[in-house]
Structure 1
Amino acid sequence: MGDLERQPELTKILFEAIFVEDREGTFNASWTFDHLMRKKLEYLLPFFDDFAGRLSELKTESCIRPMAHVCEMVCMAYFKKKDPTFTQHITDTQLEQIMTVCFDWLIGPMNMAPKVFSMTSLFYLGQKFDWVHPELKQVLQDTYADGTPGYQNRAKKTLDKLARLGH
């Protein structure tokens, strides 16, 4: 991890390895990528277009879960922290690509962790794209009863936040 933190140019190579592992059924690169992004999220920006555009290619939940977490961190940096490093370098098209894949992960046959990360990302994305909040609310209401306790907890908090916004 230390080498990765000191050599940001390796981040793109690590990202590419995720897609190889997704096909092979291993997931070391995706977990390593997630841990690196927790420390150096800005390392994602030089190839953010690839990141946003290729998320929908992932099939293995072991790879999707860490990428869903990275999406959540990106949305928090962009919308909650309003970090100019992100707000000035991420396009609406890229945000829409993340939004699409997060809805796919939220409604798809995933375990709960990618769904929870996607739910949070979509809540933030709805601050920019006004149709997202009503859709998110409907999905959460439709899936709440079938969710795990962790899913229900996050869904309730998200529904409460949506209600405070008038949705």
Structure 2
Amino acid sequence: MTTEQLYNELNYVNHSREKRLFYSKMVINNPALIPKLLDLLFMVDDKLSPRAAWVLEFMCTENTATIAPYLEPFTQGINKVHLDPAVRPVAKICQILAQHYYSKEDNLIKTTLTKTQQERIIETCFDYMINDEKVAAKAYSMVALFLFGKDFDWIHSELKIILDRDYPTQSAAFKARARIILKKMKKK
């Protein structure tokens, strides 16, 4: 399948779990599509960029190892993603990568995610925290940053400043996640 054919297929992806799952399994079963999907994701001003992000998110949820060979291009491009419907799934993928990296179980992400790639994820997550993003992107970013803070000492103090500053003006969902993260950081 060419990039153009995949682009046309993304027209059929919608918010339904069924469609996202169908296309994510198609990509999992044909890993040669992953670079093409990333190319479409990073066409950041295109209306189909978020649909590529949705499929990529479901792919990572179903089988995180499939993104391992593509962590370099993924982490190089995530800071360019700006459309709201694409930011949320990118933030979720960042959270998934952090969770797998710090998992007690052996997995491919632990051995392939480099410090440079982690730093790119951290930078993007901090951007999501300080920019005017929707609460879901901020919540996923909080979790990723909290986890990466285990190896990067400065993260927790910076994250705490942002959470304390934004807490009074944010939504109930933000406040709920922030309370959990702040409580976990206090235990450390």
TM-score tier (shorter): over 0.9
Query: 1:40-64 CA distances to partner (integer Å, 9 max, x unpaired)?
Result: 1111111111111111111211111
The reply to whether residue 13 of structure 1 matches residue 13 of structure 2 is: no
Query: Structure 2 CA distance, aligned partners of 1:82 and 1:129?
Result: 21
Q: TM-score, normalised by structure 1?
A: 0.93
Query: Structure 1 CA distance, aligned partners of 2:115 and 2:39?
Result: 23
The reply to whether residue 129 of structure 1 matches residue 156 of structure 2 is: no
Partner of 1:70: 93
Query: Structure 2 CA distance, aligned partners of 1:125 and 1:82?
Result: 17
Distance 1:33 1:87, change over 3 A: same
The reply to whether residue 144 of structure 1 matches residue 173 of structure 2 is: no
Structure 1 unaligned blocks of 5 or more: none
Aligned-residue offset at 1:25:
3.0
Contact 2:125 2:141 (C-alpha < 8 Å) held by counterparts: yes
Partner of 1:111: 134
* Seq. identity, %: 27
- Superposed, which structure 2 residues align to 1:50-69 within 5 Å? 50-69=73-92
Partner of 2:59: 36
The reply to whether residue 79 of structure 1 matches residue 102 of structure 2 is: yes
**What is the aligned length?**
164
Give the alignment partner of residue 179 of structure 2, picking from 140, 151, 156.
156
Structure 2 unaligned blocks of 5 or more: 1-22
Distance 1:64 1:81, change over 3 A: farther
Query: Structure 1 CA distance, aligned partners of 2:34 and 2:53?
Result: 11
Q: TM-score, normalised by structure 2?
A: 0.83
Aligned-residue offset at 1:79:
1.1
Query: 1:125-148 CA distances to partner (integer Å, 9 max, x unpaired)?
Result: 000100001111111011111111
Query: Structure 2 CA distance, aligned partners of 1:4 and 1:24?
Result: 20
Query: Structure 1 CA distance, aligned partners of 2:115 and 2:163?
Result: 24
From the CA coordinates, give the structure whose radius of gyration is larger: 2
Query: 1:5-59 CA distances to partner (integer Å, 9 max, x unpaired)?
Result: 2112212211111122x21233211111111111011111111111111111112
Aligned-residue offset at 1:82:
5.2
Query: Structure 2 CA distance, aligned partners of 1:134 and 1:164?
Result: 13
Contact 2:146 2:156 (C-alpha < 8 Å) held by counterparts: yes
Query: Structure 2 CA distance, aligned partners of 1:81 and 1:115?
Result: 25
Contact 2:65 2:107 (C-alpha < 8 Å) held by counterparts: no
